[in-house]
Structure 1
Amino acid sequence: MNPDRFLRALPVALASAFVVLPGVASAVQPFAISRIDVEGLTRTDPATVLAALPFKVGQTYTDDGGTAALRALFATGLFNDVRLDVRGSALVVVVAERPFVSSIDIEGMKEFPKDTVLPALKSVGLAVGQPVSQAVLDRVEQELRQQYLSRSLYGAQVTASLLPAGPDRVRVAIKVSEGGPARITRLHIAGNKAFSESTLLSEMSLGATGVFSWISKNDRYSREKLDADLDKLRQFYLRRGYLDFDVLSPDVSISPDRQNIDINITVSEGRPYTVSGVALSGDFLGRDAEFASLITVQPGKTYDADQVKASQEAIAKRYSGYGYAFADVSITPQLDRANGLVQLTVRADPRQRVYVRRINVSGNAQTRDSVIRREMRQLEAGWYDAEKIRLSRDRIDRLGFFSDVAINTKPVPGYPDQVDLDVAVTERSTGNVNLGAGYSQTEKFSIQGSLTLDNLFGTGNLFSTELNTSKYSRSLGFRLVQPYFTQSGISRSLDVGYRTSRPFNSTATSFELATLNAAVRFGIPVSETDRVFLGIGAEQNIIGTSDTLPLAYQQYALQYGRRSTAIPLTLGWERDQRNSALAPTSGSYQRLNLELSPFSASRYARLNAQAQQYAELPAGMSLGLNAELGYGKGLGGSPYPFFKNFFGGGLGSVRAFDQGSLGRVDPTGVYLGGTRSANVNAELYVPVPGTGRDRTLRFFGFMDAGNVWGADEPITTATVRASAGVGLSWLSPVGPLSLSYGRPLRSLQGDRIQKFQFQIGTAF
C-alpha cells in the first residue's frame, strides 16, 4: 500500500469509529476534492448521500469536514456503518445500509387494536418500508410498556426483535405478554374528621374492585387519574369553605406480583370559613351596581368555591357582552384564621375592547360553509359578544348535523383589538334509516321504516321518504324541508303521500282506509328561538269495503260517503331553547299546532300541544320532562272524522302498553283511539359507566302516564294508565335508538301489555 495514501486514510478511518474531539491535531493535509464516489448502496439514491455531505467537488477537504460528514450521514438513520476513504484527490464514501422493514408482526397483544398501534409505532420510527436499527426497537419497547402502564398492566412484557426476511430486509417481531391488570384492592383516606371516608370516596373516580369494575374499570390505577381525584377532593372541601384544606402526598404501593395496588391518602382539613364581606376593585365601566348584582357570594354565608367561580365567570361574561373579550377578573380571598372569616375582593381589568375580524369554519367535509354561517349571530367586523357566540353555538348544534360543536376565540397576533372565531364541528351521519319495532305474544315481531336525509347534499335541506309495509299500514310518502327558503330564514316544507291502513288489531286482509295527501307549509322566524307556521293542504280519504270494516267506519261512510275530501289549514308555533336537538341536557321546547278544515265535507279542528324541559344534574345525569295534549272537534254540526283520532300506548306515549291500544275499542275489536289525548313522561338519563359521560349513549329510567278519550267519555284520573321502566338511548349511525323495558303501574282489564319495545328515530 502507498504510505502516503495510508497516512491520509488512517485519521479518516479513526474518525468513523470515534468522535473526534476539538483541538486534536489533524493528520490529513487539506486537499482539493476532484471526485466523490459512493460505495455500498443498494436502495438509497446516491444523491441522498451527496446532499448530506458538507462539501462538494472542487472544495477543500479537511479533518473537521470529514467528521461533520460522518455525523451527517449517521444522522440520516439510513446506515449501520459509514467510512470515508481518501484515494489520491478522490473521496470515497463507503456505507453499509440498514435493512428495511418488510413486515411487522405483533403477537399476544389484546389490550390495543393493531390498527391503532401501527400508527403509534410509526411515530417512534418503526414502519414498513423504513430502515430499522436496535435503537428504534428499544424505543418501540419503551413506548409500548408505557402504554400498558397507563392501563394498569404493570406486569406486561414487550420484546421486539429483527428476523431476516431476504436481502437487506428484516421482519420485526413484537411479542407481548400482557398479564393481568393491576387492580386497586384498597383505597383508604385518613385525617378526615368533618366528612366520612365513604362520602369522600364517592367523589373519586378510582375505587377498589367492585361489582361494576369490569365495566367502569375504576379499579385500574394511573397517576393521572389519581391526580384528578385529588383535585376533586380539594374542590369538594373548597365548596364547603375549607380554604386551608391540603392533600399530603399519597402512598401508592404495589404487590410483588404487580397485580394488587394499595392507595393511602392523608388529608389535612383545616376549618370552614365564613364570608365577612365582598368588595369591588378596578374598572367596572361605571356599572358597579350591575356587576355587583352578578356576585352570588353573600356575607355571612359559608365560603363556596363554586359560587366564587360562577360569580367570576358571570362578571367576565358580562364584560364580553360589552366587547371586552379578554377582561381579567379575579376574586382574591383574605383569610382571618383567628376568627374563621374570609374577605373577598373582586378585581377587574376590562383591558381593550375587541371586535371579531374573521370567522373560520372547520370540520365540515360535507356540510356547506353557508349552512353553518347563516346560524351565526356573532358577525364579522362586529364587537365581540359572548352571548351571541353562545347562541350561535346552540343554533348550530340544534341543526342536528354534528356530534360536537365548539367555537374558540383566538387573538390576532399584532392586533390587540381583534380576535378570530374558530368554529370547529364534528359531522355525524345524517342519512338515517328509521325503524320502529316491538314484540308481543299476539303480534309477534313487527317493523316499519323510512329513509331520511337530514342534510341533503350538505345544503341543510331535509328530504325523507317513507315506505311502510307493516301489518296494519302501507304507505309511500315524500317530504322536502328547506330551512332557508328565503334569505331571511323563512322555511318551506312540501309533503306528498299515499297511505293505506287498517286499524290496530283489525283482522281484515285488505285496506280499510286509503289517504292521499299533499301540503305546503311555511315557517316564519319571529325571534331567535320562536317560529310561526302557516300552511295549506289537500287530502282525500277513501273508506274500503272489507267485510270486517269497523262499525265506526261503516257509520261514517253511510253518512258522508266513502270518499271524503278536506282542505286543511295549519297554524303553528314553536319555541326551541334546547342546548341540542339530538341529546338535550338543558333548556326547553314548546310547540302548538292547529289544523283547521272549515270548507269541505270533513269539517273539523285538531289541536296538538307539546312542552319539554331538560335539566342537568350532578354526576353527568340529566332529567327530561315531556307533556303532550291533543284535542279534536267537528265543526258546523259535522262529527269529528275518525281518521283524525289521537292514539296512545307504546313509544312516544305510555310505554309498556301495546302501540296504539289505548282509547276506545270498536265492537269488532279494533283500536279507534280518541278525540282527546294526554300523556306525560319523565326520563332520568344516566351516563353509561366507562364512556366518559358520553351523552350519545345513556341509560334512562322512565315513568309515563296518559290515555286517550272519545268525545262522549269523561276525562278522569281513574282512566289514566301509567308505567315505569328502564331503557337505553343511543345516537346510533342509523339514527337515535331507544330501547325500553317497562311494566304497567296502572292498567285496566282488557289492556294489552308489551313490556319490551324499541324504536329508531324517535325521542320520548
Structure 2
Amino acid sequence: MKYLLKAIFLGLVLPLSALAQSFVLSDIRVDGLQRVSAGTVFSALPIRVGDEVEPGEIQDATRVLFRTGFFEDIQIGHENSVLVITVRERPAISKIDISGNKAIATEDLLKAMKEYGLAEGQILKRSTLRGLTQEFERQYVAQGRYGASVKAELKELPRNQVELRVAVDEGVVAAIKHINVVGNRAFSDKELEEIFELKTTGWLSWLRSDDKYSSEKLTGDLERLKSYYLDRGYLDFQIDSAQVSLGPDKKSVFITINVVEGGVYTVSEVEIAGNPIVAEEEINRLLLVREGQRFSQARVTTTSDYIAKRLGNKGYAFAEVNGVPEANEEESTVKITFFIDPGKRTYVRRISFRGNTRTADEVLRRELRQMESALASSARIEQSKVRLERLGYLKVVKVETTKVSGTSGRPDVDYMVEGQPSDSGGAGR
C-alpha cells in the first residue's frame, strides 16, 4: 500500500491516514533534481536507511527539506520500503536587468537586492522578491517620489533558470505647495518659514530644488525650529506633531506643524558644579550666560564648549561639561548649572598623518607645536593644524584626538591631510 504526502509551497502538509503503519527504510530515491545534489538532500533528511519510519517522521522530513530553501514543491511517499522523494527546485537567477532608474543608481539597487538574497547565481525566492519591490518603492517615497512604482517580471530560461527584470517608474518628486505652522504667536509665519530649508514652490525652485520634499530635510527643519525658540527663551517649546499630506495627483505636498510655544524664561542664577580644575574667576570669564538674560540654549552650549576647550588646554583632552537648566515655571525663571568633569590628565601617545602620500613626514612634523609624550593641549593641537594649513600645499587638514583602548590618559592625535593638485604649488617639499 502506498502513502503519499504532498506539501505545497506554503509548507502546509496533508495528514497521513490514521491507519498508516511504520516500515523499515531500505532505500531512498530522489526524483526531479537538476542543480541541487542528491547528497544535499540526504544530508538534510532526518531519517536514514535502516531506520524504522513512522508517518509523522515523513511529515518532519518534508518540513526539513522545505527549510533548505531549494525547493518550491516536495512530494514524499513510499513504495513498499523505498522512500520516494519528488521535488521541484526553485529556479536560479541567471541574469538581473534593471531599467527606468535614474534617481537611484543601478549599483545601489543591485546592492540592496543582494542584501535580500537576490543576486545572479542565487536561488530565487518569490516571497523575497515581492518584499524587495515594496522596499524599492519605500526608498523612492523617502525621496518624495510618491508616484513611483517598481515591477518585477521573470523570464524563464532553460535548465530551470530565470532572468529577473525589474522595471522602475520613478515618477516625479512631489513639490511643496504649502507649509503651515499652527500655534505660533511670538513669531510670524514669514519669520518661521525663513528658518526652513524646505520651501514652497517659487519662481527659482526649478534651480534650487528647495520645494522638493524629503523626510530628512523636514527632520532638520524641525530641529532648526526648536533651536530657534530655545535660543529665544522658550524653554517649554514643543512640536506636537508634523503632518505631511499628499494631494490626489501625488505631486503636491502639504506640511502642517503644530507647536506649543510656552512662555519666555529669564536666567535667575548660574552655578558651577563638579571639579573645574581652573580658578573660578577664569571660568566666569568664559560664561556667556548671565543672570537677568533671556534664556538661550545656544549660549549654554557654547559656554560648555569654551570651558571644555579651556580644560583641554590644561591637558584634560576629554573633559565633559554639561549645562543643565532647572526651570521655575511659576516665576518663568531658569537656573543653569554647569557640571564639570575634567577626567584624567592626558599625554599624547602618538601623532600620525593620514592621507599624506607626497610630503615627507618630517616636513609636516616640524610644523607641529604639540609633541608626542607631552601633555595634550587643545590649543597646541589646533595651532599645529593652522600651521599645516599655512604650508600652502595641503588642501585639507582635519585633526582628531582619539582615546586608545587599553591605555589610561594616552590618546592619539591624527591629522587627516590631502595634498593640492600637482600644479598648485609644492615648494619646500
Where on the TM-score scale, by shorter chain, does this alignment land: which range? 0.7 to 0.9
Confirm or deny: 8 A CA contact 2:346 2:411 kept in the other structure. no
2:256 is the counterpart of 1:264: yes
Q: As a proportion of its length, which structure holds more strand? A: 1
Out of 280, 292, 310, the residue aligned to residue 288 of structure 1 is: 280
Mapped partners of 2:290, 2:404: distance in 1:
35
Out of 271, 280, 286, the residue aligned to residue 279 of structure 1 is: 271
Residue matched to 1:193: 185
> Which secondary structure state, in structure 2, belongs to the residue aligned with residue 126 of structure 1?
coil
Mapped partners of 1:253, 1:29: distance in 2:
64
Mapped partners of 2:21, 2:119: distance in 1:
41
Out of 84, 106, 110, the residue aligned to residue 102 of structure 2 is: 110
* Equivalent runs, 1:294-693 vs 2, <5 Å: 294-353=286-345, 364=355, 374=365, 384-391=376-383, 405=398, 407=400, 409-410=402-403, 412=405, 415=406, 417=408, 421=412, 423=414, 431-432=421-422, 451=423, 462=426, 481-483=427-429
Mapped partners of 1:402, 1:35: distance in 2:
74
Stretch moving more, 333-342 or 52-61: 52-61
Stretch moving more, 75-84 or 116-125: 75-84
* Equivalent runs, 1:112-131 vs 2, <5 Å: 112-131=104-123
> Which secondary structure state, in structure 2, belongs to the residue aligned with residue 242 of structure 1?
coil
1:417 maps to a residue whose letter is S
Mapped partners of 1:348, 1:225: distance in 2:
34
Stretch moving more, 331-340 or 143-152: 331-340
Q: As a proportion of its length, which structure holds more helix? A: 2
Mapped partners of 1:321, 1:358: distance in 2:
18
Out of 211, 222, 227, the residue aligned to residue 219 of structure 1 is: 211
Question: CA offsets, 1:266-295, max 9 Å, x none?
Answer: 322223222222111111226333333322
What are structure 1's unaligned runs of at least 5 residues? 433-450, 455-461, 463-480, 484-764
What are structure 2's unaligned runs of at least 5 residues? none
Cα offset, 1:308, TM superposition: 0.7
> Which secondary structure state, in structure 2, belongs to the residue aligned with residue 293 of structure 1?
helix
2:209 is the counterpart of 1:209: no
Mapped partners of 1:30, 1:398: distance in 2:
88
Scaled by the length of structure 1, the TM-score of the pair is 0.48
Question: CA offsets, 1:681-720, max 9 Å, x none?
Answer: xxxxxxxxxxxxxxxxxxxxxxxxxxxxxxxxxxxxxxxx
Confirm or deny: 8 A CA contact 2:91 2:160 kept in the other structure. yes
Mapped partners of 1:358, 1:426: distance in 2:
16
1:407 maps to a residue whose letter is E
Residue matched to 1:519: none
Distance 1:14 1:122, change over 3 A: closer
Residue matched to 2:238: 246
Distance 1:298 1:251, change over 3 A: same
Mapped partners of 2:27, 2:242: distance in 1:
67
2:160 is the counterpart of 1:168: yes
Q: Which has the larger radius of gyration?
A: 1
Q: How many corresponding residue pairs?
A: 424
Cα offset, 1:335, TM superposition: 2.1
> Which secondary structure state, in structure 1, belongs to the residue aligned with residue 277 of structure 2?
coil
Distance 1:404 1:67, change over 3 A: farther
1:267 maps to a residue whose letter is V
Cα offset, 1:52, TM superposition: 5.1
Residue matched to 2:170: 178
Mapped partners of 1:404, 1:70: distance in 2:
63
Distance 1:264 1:46, change over 3 A: same
> Which secondary structure state, in structure 1, belongs to the residue aligned with residue 217 of structure 2?
helix
> Which secondary structure state, in structure 2, belongs to the residue aligned with residue 248 of structure 1?
strand
2:151 is the counterpart of 1:159: yes
Distance 1:208 1:64, change over 3 A: farther
Distance 1:190 1:131, change over 3 A: same
Distance 1:148 1:14, change over 3 A: closer
Distance 1:201 1:14, change over 3 A: closer
Mapped partners of 2:258, 2:140: distance in 1:
28
Mapped partners of 1:50, 1:422: distance in 2:
58
> Which secondary structure state, in structure 2, belongs to the residue aligned with residue 249 of structure 1?
strand
Out of 233, 257, 269, the residue aligned to residue 225 of structure 2 is: 233
Mapped partners of 1:224, 1:298: distance in 2:
36
> Which secondary structure state, in structure 2, belongs to the residue aligned with residue 236 of structure 1?
helix
Confirm or deny: 8 A CA contact 1:396 1:405 kept in the other structure. no
Cα offset, 1:296, TM superposition: 1.7
> Which secondary structure state, in structure 1, belongs to the residue aligned with residue 241 of structure 2?
coil
Scaled by the length of structure 2, the TM-score of the pair is 0.80
Distance 1:67 1:405, change over 3 A: farther
Q: Which has the higher contact order (CA 8 A, sep 6+)?
A: 2
Cα offset, 1:64, TM superposition: 8.3
Q: CA RMSD in A?
A: 4.2
Mapped partners of 1:383, 1:173: distance in 2:
62
Mapped partners of 2:110, 2:304: distance in 1:
46
Question: CA offsets, 1:139-159, max 9 Å, x none?
Answer: 221121112111211111221
> Which secondary structure state, in structure 2, belongs to the residue aligned with residue 296 of structure 1?
coil
Distance 1:367 1:27, change over 3 A: farther
% same residue: 35
Cα offset, 1:367, TM superposition: 6.3
Mapped partners of 2:390, 2:39: distance in 1:
57
> Which secondary structure state, in structure 1, belongs to the residue aligned with residue 131 of structure 2?
helix
Distance 1:337 1:359, change over 3 A: same
Out of 127, 135, 143, the residue aligned to residue 143 of structure 1 is: 135
Cα offset, 1:226, TM superposition: 1.7
Cα offset, 1:314, TM superposition: 1.9
Confirm or deny: 8 A CA contact 1:361 1:369 kept in the other structure. no
> Which secondary structure state, in structure 2, belongs to the residue aligned with residue 199 of structure 1?
helix
> Which secondary structure state, in structure 2, belongs to the residue aligned with residue 205 of structure 1?
coil
Mapped partners of 2:345, 2:320: distance in 1:
12
